[in-house]
Amino acid sequence: MRRRSAPTKTEYSPKAQAGRLPFNPDIVGSHWAPDAQIDVVAINWEQKTILLGEAKWGDGNVSRKVIRELVAKTERVVPDGGENWQVHYAFFAREEFTEAAKQEASHIHAWLLTLPQMEPDL
C-alpha cells in the first residue's frame, strides 16, 4: 500500500467519529496486488494502526478458512511487515459465520458483522 495524501478525516471516518473504530483513519480503501487482495483497508499513518477487512457476500456461512487467510496476508500488506503496527481485523458476511470462524476471530479480537447488523447504518 502506497502512502498518498489523504482526504479529510471527516470524509472517510464517520464510523471512527461515532466511536465504532479504535482509531481515526487517514484513508479508507482496498489493497489489490498480485500476492494479496484486501477488501477493506483503513489506516492511520501517524499512529501506525491499520484495519484489514474481508467481505463475503455469497450464500452460506463464512468459515474459519476466511479468517486464517486474511491473517496470513498481514505481513504482505501492512507496512514494514507489520513491525510496530497495531493491526485490527473485521469480517463482513451476507449471512453468518460458522462456530469455528467465531472462535478463530475471537483469538485475534476481530469484528464479525453480518448484513442484518449493518443494514440499520446503511
43 forms beta bridges with 27, 50
The verdict on residue 6 lying in a domain is no
Question: pTM, whole model, 2 decimals?
Answer: 0.82
What is the per-residue pLDDT across 51-95, written as a single tens digit (0 to 9) for each? 999 999 999 999 999 999 999 999 999 998 889 999 999 999 999
Residue 92's nearest CA partner among 40, 54, 51, 37 is 54
Q: How far apart are CA 21 and CA 42, in angstroms?
A: 10
| Residue range(s) defining the domain that contains residue 28 | 18-121
The verdict on residue 117 lying in a domain is yes
Q: Which segments of 1-122 are extended strands (E)?
A: 27-33, 36-44, 49-56, 86-93, 111-114
Number of structural domains found in the chain: 1
